[in-house]
Amino acid sequence: MNEVVSVEWLRINLNSPDLIVLDASLKTTADGSILNPHLETIPEARNFDLKNTFSDSNSRFPNTFPNEINFEIECRKLGICENSKIVVFDSIGIYSSPRV
């Protein structure tokens, strides 16, 4: 398994049926700074919503992982399955994508 793939690898493999590209971009940083939304994204990228869908809204702490069942349900809604190859990115480099 490669932890990092090149842009060239992604270009070649973008249409692979088992590839899931996740956009983990956030609208604000931890200090509240507003991030400029990127004008372009990777074609067919799916939004991985760290602030809402993939956080436990009942936790008293921010950005807490959801329980295992909800995490699995939401991943399946994104088309992720056991055999998926996943590429994750965010709009400012390596900010929120490592969280995914």
pTM: 0.85
Positive or negative, the CA dihedral 21, 22, 27, 30 is negative
Helix residue ranges per DSSP H, 3-89: 7-13, 68-77
CATH number for 48: 3.40.250.10
Cβ atoms within 10 Å, residue 99: 15
pLDDT by residue for the chain (100 residues), tens only, comes to: 568 899 999 999 999 999 999 999 887 777 777 776 655 678 889 999 998 899 998 889 877 889 999 999 999 999 999 999 999 998 887 888 888 8
State the total domains in the chain. 1
**Residue 98 three-state SS:** helix
**Residue 87 three-state SS:** strand
Range of 99's domain? 1-100
